Structures are given as structure tokens and as C-alpha cells.
Structure 1
Amino acid sequence: MMRNWRKALILVLCAVCILGFKPRFANGETDQGDASALGLMYSALNSPQQLTGWTANNGDPCGQSWKGVTCSNKRVTKINLSNLGLSGTMGYSLLSMTSLTELDLSHNSLAGDIPYNLPPNLQRLNLEYNQFTGGVPYSISQMPSLQYLNLAHNQLQNALSDMFASLSSLSTMDLSFNSISGSLPQSFQNLTGISTMYLQNNQFSGTIDVLANLPLDKLDVSNNRFTGWVPAQLKSINLKTDGNSWSSGPAPPPPPGTPPATRNTRKHNSGSNGSTSNSGSSGGSSSSGIGGGAIAGIVISLLIVGAIVAFFLVKRRSRRSSSDIEKFDNQPLAPRASNEVQEIKSMKSSSSFDSQALDTPISISLRPPPIDRRKSFDEEEFNKKPIVVKKSVPPPTNVKSYSIADLQMATGSFSVENLLGEGSFGRVYRAQFGDGKVLAVKKIDSSALPSGMSDDFVEMVSNISQLHHTNVTELVGYCSEHGQHLLVYEFHKNGSLHDFLHIPDEYSKPLIWNSRVKIALGTARALEYLHEVCSPSVVHKNIKSANILLDAELNPHLSDSGLATSIPNADEVLNRDDAGSGYSAPEVTMSGQYSLKSDVYSFGVVMLELLTGRKPFDSTRPRLEQSLVRWATPQLHDIDALSKMVDPALEGLYPVKSLSRFADVIALCVQPEPEFRPPMSEVVEALVRLVQRANMSKRTTGTDQGASPRADNSHDGHDYM
């Protein structure tokens, strides 16, 4: 009995020893998510020897004291790998490192895009002196604790997204020595904790007015393309502005009723952060020191002045002869009145008044009329458009102006043989010029843009010419002669995605899965650029496979970007032409109103086309399968049903996990409620994760191209519609 008891005791002690003794890193002293993220980063950095202690798999950064890694409570809190000669990329799974507050990878040779998935609780991010390309990632907008941001001396491009609204803690931002373009985003005014900003040696344009009320101590905007005037509020700080195209002469006076200019500084309340956080973006009277009574007094005074001016104008007009009055009364008043109202509205929306001040329509009527506006109201003067509208957008200078003769010769007098397609706003022709260059010419219908709207057309060209993105079809030139309006685009001989999916020919092979994912990601990036980088955002309104053009490597290019936002009756035309197409979001069908979220829905439909190979609406199919969204949506989360939905042309050659993730993104985009659809930046992130996580070569054949280019002389597919 005693012997059995001793055996039992020995077994228990052995079990305790086995279970209680663990290697330091078997279970690890590091959070599993942090360890996995750093392992992936190590692989992305090409597993450098200088990172002592690091390993790609089963590592324990906190327990094994990895070089440059600081931990607290089993979580990685700081990473400092500065000046170690590192190459490769940053990896893609840093989002899980929720305790990381400092990340310093500066002075290395890291390349590629800065990843979308950055640690959300960073306080300091330093990536200066690397070789990063692409744009500033939108995920920075999700870092409310960020205090220090340094992306200087890289190769960043594109415009800044309007993503700074939540960064009130940011005190230092350095974006210098890149190639960032576009105007400064309006959300800069929310940087109420900023003291140092370096923007020099980029390609920024527009004014710097948005910086006027920030609590800046140092600002360098030198060597850019800024215009306008330097705000008076900034002239008392450490400021560098050389190398720009500033306007000469004194700055124009502010509109009547504008509060005196003051600069938001943190010195008013003994450095209290709380006192500054609300003053950067208000733009109202509270930050100017003018009370409600003072504003009321100013408004009353201006009304009195306006009444006196109006009295003398009426008195002067009453002196005209009865024949002159009769002639004036016969003039077309309605268009003039409409333009005046639009001018007032536009001035309201762009001014810095608060909403109460703007409710008083004094922006035009209270100003003394310019001398040339005091001429007699003859027909020629009266039919002119408001001066503010005419000069609101400069004429296009970065695209070529073609003559009608040039385009007629290149298109064979717009012959049927050169007709590429016909869309909602006009026909598109193939144009071959004397130097051998081939372009696509879109001839806009007079019903969409009447001949008398040349000024509107020039404004439209100016707006579209500002759109520059790898996946957006580039505007090359324009023509505005003899009442004709034409746009000249780059040409992509592989035609449209619609043709590849639905009109195969002897020259093309089915798109392989890799190519379909690449097309979806490139198109998503184009929409992300239009929605979240352009300021103001551009709603495309006409997302469909016929408007996604493919180059020789099957990279997608979204056509007609910015066109529908510039044509006056575009919504009406598109609603008529797209009725029953299967691309329109439910709210567009109901109300006719387009939005960023309706673009997201249409993009989801395009992804469904890529997945199934079916048209969005096909009347030749059984009744329950005619609407692609209605038929496919209930099956997107059923892996067995999903495998039956896949385009038969793929012949089963696709990774199952990749297919499932692709379907998950579609389900998010085509939700019937617009508020539940994700922004395009999140769609891009999901597709990037899909590409990076999936080993997309396991079950596929061929290269990324996946199809043979179509013959150069074929006219099948340039549907710029």
C-alpha cells in the first residue's frame, strides 16, 4: 500500500515538473500578435544580420531582447531601427501592435509604399531618409495620439488626403523633400497642437491660407508652387517662403463683416492644451474676440450703407428715358437673376463667415459696384456671366490644345471605322497622329454640353487635368472650337474590362485569378484617390466595367473621372442611361442622387463581374438570376455556393482563401444601406491584405498578364462612357 502511494506521489511530482517548467520563449514573454507582426517585418526587411536576436518564426521579442525593441508588460512599446542599413519593406501586419507608441526606421534604404496598416496608437513615427514611394497613407488619420510625424527625404507623391481632422495632438510634422503635389487639405486647420511644420521642396500648389490660424512657431513652405499671399498671422513666426509664386502687391482686403485676423497660439492661456484645441477650425466669432452685439452692429451698418448705395442706383436708373426702360424690361431677366443667386451662394460657401452671418445676403449687394458695372444695362453687358464664375478656375495649362482640323485628320473626319464606342456623354474615336502616336478622342454631345457653354467646358478641362493617378486615365488635351467640345485621352489598346469578360475574341485568353485581383485593386486605388485624396472629393458616378481600361500589362485605368461632376445635367443623363444596368446603388434608383457610397456600390458590382464572369444584368438568364447582385449576395458567405458561382473560364484555378476574402469585400460594398458600405481606403486595405497574405501562384497558371494583348488595329473596347 505504501509502495503504491509513493509511486502515485512520484507521478504527481513529475507531472508538476513537466507542466511547470517551460522554456522562456516556449509560450513566450511577448504578446503573440506583436511577435507575429515583428516576425513578418523581419522577413519583409530581407532578414538582415544586423538585427541581432530577431527571427521570422516562433520568436519572443521581449524575452529574447531583440535589437531596437523595447517592451512593457509583454507588449512591444518602442521600435528604434534607425541608421542600420536596412532594405526591403516594412511589412503589412503592424496594425495588431496596439501598444507601440514609437516607431523609428529613419536613415535606411526601405522602399515601396508606406503600409496602410500602421500601429494605431503611435505617438512618434519617423521614416525620414528612406526610399518610400506612393502617398502618405490614409491610416494616419486613425492615430489620434500622434505627436511627431517625419516622412521627409523620401519619394512620396500624389496629393495629401483630407485626413488630419483627428490629429489635434500632432506638434511636429515634416513632409519635406518629397514630390507631394496638390493643395493643402482643409483638415490642416484641425492641427490645433502643431508648432513645427516643414513642407519645403515638394510640389504643393494653391494657397497656404489654411495655415493662418494654427499655433505655429516654425513653418517652412519654400520651393513649392504656392500662390496667393502669405497670411499676415504667419509673418511673426520663424517662416521661410522663398521659391514660390506669391502674388505681388498688398493682399486684398477681407470681405465686409470678416472678423479681424488673429493667430491661434498656445501662449494665451499659459500653454494650456485644452484652450487651443477648439480654436483651429472654428472660423467663427468666438476666436476673434468680437461679440454677437459687435457683429450685429457691423451688419446693421453695412445694411445702411447698402441701402444708401441702392437708393442712388435706383435714382440714377429712374432718370433714363421711357424708351430705355422699355428696352431694359424686354431683356431676358431670368438667366441674370439665376446667375446672381448662384454667385451669391458660391461666395457664401467659400467665405469664412459663420452660418449666421451668411444668412444675410450682403456679399454682393453691399459692396460699391466696380466702375465697369455702372455702365448702362445694355444687352451685351447683361448677357455676360458673373465675373467671379468666369475667373474661378484658370485656363488649363498642363494639357495640349488641339484644333478641330488636327482631330479631324487624326480620326479620318470622325469616321465610323475609327469609332471606339458611344457612351452617355458622346462618342469616342481612335486618333492616330502624324508622329505615330495613338490617342482616344471623346466628342461630347451638344445635348450634354451645349455650344454656348465654352467657359464651362474650359473649367471642366481645368478640373479634369488636375487628376493624376497611375490608375486614372490621363487627360492629354482638349479642343474647343466652333461650338465643339472634345477631350483627348491616352489610349489603351487592350480595351475595356467589359470586353475581356463578356466579348472574348480570338486574340484574348480568359483573365486568370491574379489578373482579376490586380484589376480590382488598381480600380479601388483609383477610386480611393478620387474620394479621399482629391479635395474636394470627386464622385465618379459612372463606375462600370466598360469604363475600366486595360493597358498592355492589364493594369486598370479608370476613365471618365471627373466628367460627370462637371456636366450640368449629368445626373439626369446617367439615371436615364443606367436604368436597369445593374450598377446603380438602390438609393440612386430611388432618388437619382449620387454619392461616394454609390460609387462604392458600383465598384462592388464590378468585383462581382470579376468573380462570376456575369453581366450585372442579363435578361437572357432565368428570372431569378438576371440581377447579378440579387442572385449572388445571399451566396457570398457560403464557400460551397461560392465555388459554383466562380467564372467557369477560370477552370478552378484560384486559391480558395483568396476567393473567400474577395467575396467578403464584395459583400461589404454592395450592402443596400449606404452608411454601412466602407470607404474606399478600407476596401484598398482589404485587397492589399488579400494580395499579400495569399500565395497566389499555388493554383494558377501563366503570368500576371494572364491574357494576350489585343491587336493594335482592333477597335474593340475603348468604352469611355
Structure 2
Amino acid sequence: MMMELWRLLIISILVFSPSFINGDTDQSDASALNVMFSSMNSPPQLTGWTASGGDPCGQSWKGVTCSGSRVTQIKIPNLGLTGSIGFQLMSLTSLTDFDISHNNFGGTVPYNLPPNLQRLNLAGCNFNGAVPYSISTMKPLVHLDLSQNQFNGQLNVDFSQLTSLSNINLANNALTGDLPQTMSSLTNLKTLNVQNNQFTGTIDVLGDLPLENLNIANNHFTGWVPRQLQNINIQKDGNSWSSGPAPPAPPGSHANHHKSGNHGKSSDSLSSGDGKSGIGPGAIVGIILAIVVVVAIVGFILFKRRIRRPSPDVEKVDIHKPFVAPASNDVEGKPEYMELKSVHSSSSINTTTLDTVPAVVLKPPPLDRNKSFDDEDLSNKPVRPIVTKIPTPVPENVKSYSIADLQMATGSFSVENLIGEGSIGRVYRAQFDDGKVLAVKKIDSSVLANHPEDFTEIVASISKLHHPNVTELVGYCSEHGQHLLIYEFHKNGSLNDFLHLDDEYSKPLTWNTRVKIALGSARALEYLHEVCSPSVVHQNFKSENILLDVELNPHLSDCGLANLLPNANQAINHNACAPEVADSGQYTLKSDVYSFGVVMLELLSGRKPFDSSLPRAEQSLVRWATPQLHDIDALTKMVDPALEGLYPVKSLSRFADVIALCVQPEPEFRPPMSEVVQALVRLVQRANMSKRTVGNAGRQSESTDTNDSVN
């Protein structure tokens, strides 16, 4: 009998042990799914999911597939999910398939996505902002679908390591700029859909890819469709293609060596054919000989002219060295230019002035293409030196860093040190050998490429901004075509994180702290608008750009970078900007005041400027809240539930009065920031005399001291 019991016990262990092992979910995976469930507002349709604890692999959570103890797939499309997708997804290192398509999330995509995905499907989720740069590190990625969202700005993804990608769908967004040159690395790409965006430039970068299906319709592409792509399944209407035959590819280009295969005949086969087309060997030899003769004649004429031209004022130049004329706006450091050694006494140039110029160069006179050389004897023209632009000096209080220093401090700009991503670049945490921690903003090269100002001018301008509530510029870097700004680091992140991200480690902001943040932010804008000369319009005032230090004092970031921002008509979330900006794209001091009022509404209500998960009438924060700002009963119902009723009622009412002034639709009726600051100071002073607050059930309770609000 005893023997039978032992056998039964052993059989039970053997039968049930596999499921027990599979059910023991890795703790980091379980925690990531807990946070994700809470961030999605704990939807009941996700059966089995919980906000804490639980066993995703052992309890068959809806849409979750495991291998052993690790989560490998999350597929939860078309479930009407809202909220956000959490901020711990990076710990899902075994996840290969992530499909949350066709839900109602909205907002931006967190940058810390699972790192080892093979399939990523975020289609149809109302996401906006920039496409996450962290996609660049997903080396195993095969399928990427970001279609039917509201992604905007440049496609700042580095495709150089994504050589496994076979299918990319970016259709129906608002992406702008040229296609990234790194797309040329996508050697396995079969299908690319980018229709219904605002892409510009040519599609030459796609010419050598093994594409079978390509949809580039309804963009702003120009130039010609590469010949290699003309025989595939392609949709290209709705662009500004050049008319006429395409120019021949330059010698040695990829187009001349493109393989055949899916694209029909190769370049070689097209040039040979059946003898009815192409150029024979004899013709090629004749053309080459003709070119040689023409070049020799032109060279002899130019040689004779150079001999006749008097040049007593310049140093002799080796006539056998070919002259190369660089672009007129790029003359510094060009060896082909001759340095001016002396100036003739009859010249109108003041030689004492030239002594102060660091580099003076000679430039050939501009060539009028409508005249022949015989129309005007260039040798009789006086030599006119062109003075290069003196670079704007950078103040001594701003340190110049090297790329090597910043790479060491940021771990080669690793994803682990990525702390933010915006419309002009990404921000990294940098820890230096001396223990100092700073924030490094790496500006996208495409942003400065189309910008007329010199980077050092931007640095010099920002370095003049000094205020306790403005993030301080510490240094900069400009090497090898890279442009970076180094700021002081604030470990508590942004106001947006505190208000809108669920984090078990951070406590809700008290009423006093919210007033302090509003007042400090108002003082920052007052400084930019009314102290700086000329006035500085921020243009991007939002909770994401209000950084909090260890004492939760606010520091406004991105000041002085307005000219680098994309145009307002490219912005997706018009609910956070002033009506006149949404209509005309014109920013003013008063549009900053409006944006400040929106942030105050976030502080009061705890809501986002726009939240697609709410009922339609409540999605736009300003539209929903404005009619209720002067109704005290409605106002108390608007207050962030995280405050648990602990706030001075009169302080709340006066706070709402300031908001109502700031978010008026007519800009001329909005107050200047100095008046806003005074109103908030009076609010704080009066609040200090009142110690009564309304509790959750209408009870009276004591408020905390508000003296720190005026600091």
C-alpha cells in the first residue's frame, strides 16, 4: 500500500511539474505586464491580467504567449484599449511579437520599447509625435507597421542595423523630410508603404533595394523613379515627379551596377540588347577622342589667358594645379582658394581692417551664364577679396566638449541612457568621470541642415539665458557634423511624467507643490518675454519641457530653440496650442501665455491636453474645462483625484481665474506674463492665511503650509 502511494506521488510530480515550471513567469516580465495593464486603465477585456502579481505564463493571460518562464508574444489588437502602454517594456527582452494595433491609445509612444522584437505592429492607435528612435536598435526586426497613426516630423530612425527588415508600413501619418539615407542598408526589404505622408526629396536611396511592392503615393517626392523600381509593383501618383527622361547615372554609381532579378533587365543588358539600341564600341571610342580634343583646346585657351593676366598683387600659383571653385557659402579651409598676401595700394580695401580678419580669400568673379567669354574681358576686372564670415564667439562660461567625451559619458549614446525624444532630437543622460551628471541633447542633422543660423550663434544666444527657473546650458559640441547641447540634469524628470505616468515610486504632487511649479514656470516665461531683449518666444511650452529638480522646483527647457522647431501647421495636437497658431502657424508672446494656461489646467485636473480614451466631449482639456472654471461646484469635481480633496478652496478658485484669463481664444485679451506672476504671488500669499480645505466627503480638514509656494 505504501509503495502504491509513492508511485502515485511520483507520477503526479511528473505529470504536473511542466505546467508548474511554465507558470513560474520571470518577475521582470510579470512586473512589466502589471504596469502595462494599469497604464491601459485596467481594461476588463484583458481577461486574466492584473495590476499587481499574477502569473502571465501560468494563468493564460489574454493575448500573452510564453516560452518557459519568459513572455515571447503579446497580441491584443482590436480590443478598444485606451490609456498608454506603460514604461517598463524594455525589460521584456524575450518578446519577439508585439501587436497592439487598432486600439485607442493616443499620445506618444514610449522610447523604451522591447529591444529584441521581430514583429512590431502599432497600426491604427492614434499615436502622435516622433517615431521612436529606439526602433533603430531592434536588430532582429522583420515586420514593422506604424501605419494609420499621427506620427509627425522627420523619420529619425537609423536603419543601418535593421538588415532583417522585410516589410515596413508607415502609411497614413504626417511624416516629413527626406527618406533616411540609412535605408540603403535594408538589403532584405520586399515591401515598403509610405503613402499619404508629407515626405520630400528623391527616392534614390531605394534604388538598389530588392523591393517587390512599393507604395509612395500622395507625398511630395521629386526627381525621377529609379529605373530599377519601374518594373515592380509600384504606386507613385500624387507626387511632383520631374518630367522628361531621367539623367544618366554618374559613372560608378549603384544604378550602373544594379543586379537584375525582380527588377527586370540589368543596366548591362539594357545597354546591349539586339543591336537596335545602345552605343557600339566604335562610337564610344569616337566620343572619347572628341572629348579629349575639346578639353585640350579649352585648356590651351585658358592657359594663354592666364599668361596674359597681370597678377602682381597675389602669390604665384602652380598653373598645373587645377582650379576648383567651391560653393560661394563654403570657402573656409578650402585649399583650392589662394590666400591674399598683399593688397595693391590703389585698392579700395582698408588693409588695417583686413588685419582683424582671421581668413581672407580670393574668389573668382561670378560667371554670368548668359554671356560668352568674349562679351567681357575678365582679365581687366580688379581683384576683389571676399572676407569670410567671422564665427560668433561662444561665451567662456559654456564649455566645449568633444564627441569622444560625450560618447564615453553616454555609453555611445545607448538606449539605456536615452531619457527623452522630441521634434529636434534625442536627450541622453551623461555621467562623466568626475561624477557629474548632465543631459545631452543630440540635435538631428536634418534640423540644422535647413537652418540658416550658425550653430555657434544658437549656442551663444542660449548661453545668455540665466534664470533660476530656466534650464542652464553647460556646454556644447560641434564635431564631425554632429551638433549637441549639454544642459544641467534634473533627476526628477518632467512635470508630464509626474502628472500622467503611473509610477509606484513617485508620490502625487500636493496642491502647494503644483502652485509652486505654476509660479516658477510663469517666472521663467516672464523672464523670456519681458526681461530678455529682444523678447524670446518659447513656442513649445508644455509639461514635457518643465523639468523638476530634487526639491520639485521647475526649470523650463528648450528655451531659445524655437527656430529649430517644425512649423506649427505640421503639429498634430492642436489642442495644446493657441487657436491662432493652429490657424496661421504664427507664434507670439500671447500664444506662449495660452500654452501656460493649458499646463495650469493639467496641474489642476491631472488630465492630458488631449486624451482620446475619454468621452468625446471631454477629450480636449481646454474645451471641456473652460465653461466650468467659474462654477465652484463644477470646479471641485474637475480637480485631480490624486489630491484627495486636500486643497484650499479659495486658492483653487483664484487658480482657475488665472487659467481662464490665459486660455481666452482672443490673444489680445490674454494678460502679459508679469501680470500672471503677480496674480499667482497674491494667490499664494492669501492661501497662507487660510488653513481650511475641503475633504473628499465635504468634511473640513487642515491644509499644509504653503510658504514654499513663493520660493
With the length of structure 2 as denominator, give the TM-score of the two structures. Answer: 0.49
- Of structures 1 and 2, the one with the larger relative CO (CA 8 A, separation 6+) is 1
With the length of structure 1 as denominator, give the TM-score of the two structures. Answer: 0.48
Larger Rg: 2
